Amino acid sequence: MIEYNYLFSIVCLVTATLAITLSFLSFWFSRFTPHARPLGFLLLFSGIYAFGYAFEIMKADPEWFFLWLRVEYFGLSFIAGSFLWLSIEFTGSFKTHKPVILVVLVGVSLFFLIVVLTNNFHHLYYSSIEVDYRGLFPTAALGRGIFYILNILWFIVSFLLSFILCLHHFFQTTAILRKRALAMVIAVIVCLVNYLIYILKVIPWSLDIGPLIISINGFILSIAITRLAFLNISPIAREQVFESMQDGVAVTDPQGRILDFNVAAHHIFPNLIQENIGHHLPTLVPELKPYLSTENISRYNPLSIQKDDAVLFYEARKISIKNKQNKKIGMALYIREFTEQYKLLQKLHEYAEKDWLTGIWNRRKWMNLAKTELKRAKRYGRPLTIAYLDIDHFKLVNDNLGHEGGDTVLIQLVKNISSQLRENDIFGRIGGEEFIILFPELDKEKAQMVTQRLLMTVCQEEIIACEQKVKVTISIGATFWDGDKKESLEELIQKADKALYMSKAAGRNRATFI
């Protein structure tokens, strides 16, 4: 004949061994992970409970039952409190009130333990203890006193609170930790369902299947520990680093649907909220669409965003996420604000291309632009004019006003000339008091009119430098290219330079064309 009580006792002992082994593993990890300590206590108390029940069902005797019931309650009294403590630590809830909550949990658990240990004096927890012979083997039929009912409420409230905390954490946490949160939610549900089955007497005889439930939860936690790094600090550290980054990070699947993002990304793009996870990122944040479709994004073409009265510049970088088989499973968009660096780069870029004093193109940049324009003119057979300018007797200006006054004259002169130019005219400073202008799409007749206008503008303008009124004139040498001759840019400049010397030889303040 099969002794079913011994078979169930063996199951309980195996369960107890598993739970206690996992508890020691948790205590070892408690040095690294905050929630490992309450998990260790929960498993230890569960193991004590299963161990006591294994011996309780070995003998059909009320005194024997009560002996091992008291052993069980050294674990069972603390299970509800330990589970709630674990849920609080795991979800990071009630941080400021944690010490007070822990004192309450321990106090309530100790109270029920003392009530059970002293039950023979008041019978307020178990009103009676009898033998139930209805099942496969004899079990304890327990009469429920007032404190037993209060303990039922304590368990239900603890498990419900744990369920609410873990479920809320599941929806609020990042994708990195969501599987771990799901393991906690399942464990709470299993415990709550098991307790309700026992309390509501769904099983027709007084069998406590709690030890079997501990086995199931032990299996769940084993998977969580081995496969989901439940006791490993790395995912927690990764999440905290992810959330504390000052740079924005948004993670999508290969189709561009949002999987995750950090706080910094939300601050940059307010549309990134939890409710929009699963939506297409380019739809929510249209500014990012070109950056998602481009592999290499130039720092000279940054993402610009208006924030209040300022424009902020961001460097966006796309990183492919691949699995162990090197298959692309998503992408991360890294967004770093570099407004100051970008403005500095722009300044350096400007200094490399523009004259430091007047702000027009320097010699090298002017040559590059002029070569491009000459190629275009040759391709389409369009005319252009190159004019060489020099300030007359500028050495006398420097001698009378000093270099500071000379600089003021140069700056104002450039402003006056620029006011007479078209947007597509290319104006540059060759050096000292010498300047050069390329006029695209300008025939000889119109070029002569423009140069005469420049002469008049300069000689009529009175410049204030070093608190003195100064008038200057310029000489211009120009050459016209009609689109037919095969001349290089250097040859055209030489012709304009030769024309300039002819203007100076003829008395200055005039324009000469050759």
CA–CA dist 17, 51 (Å, integer): 8
> What are the DSSP calls for 152-212, one per residue?
HHHHHHHHHHHHHHHHHHHHHS-HHHHHHHHHHHHHHHHHHHHHHHHHTT-SSS----HHH
- Is position 433 annotated as part of the catalytic site? yes
Residue bearing tokens 């995750």: 260
Which run of H or E residues covers position 319? strand 310-322
Which run of H or E residues covers position 438? strand 434-440
CB atoms within 10 A of CB 2: 8
Judge residue 369's burial from the number of C-beta atoms within 10 Å of its C-beta, 0-12 exposed, 13-18 middle, 19 or more buried: middle
Spot the catalytic one: 239, 433, 445, 487: 433
With contact defined as beta carbons under 8 Å apart, do 23 and 41 qualify? yes
According to DSSP, the residues that pair with 257 across neighbouring strands are 280
Residue bearing tokens 């106090």: 107
CA–CA dist 345, 300 (Å, integer): 8
Closest CA to 233 of 24, 32, 36, 27: 32
Q: And the tokens for 372?
A: 């491009």
List the catalytic residues.
433
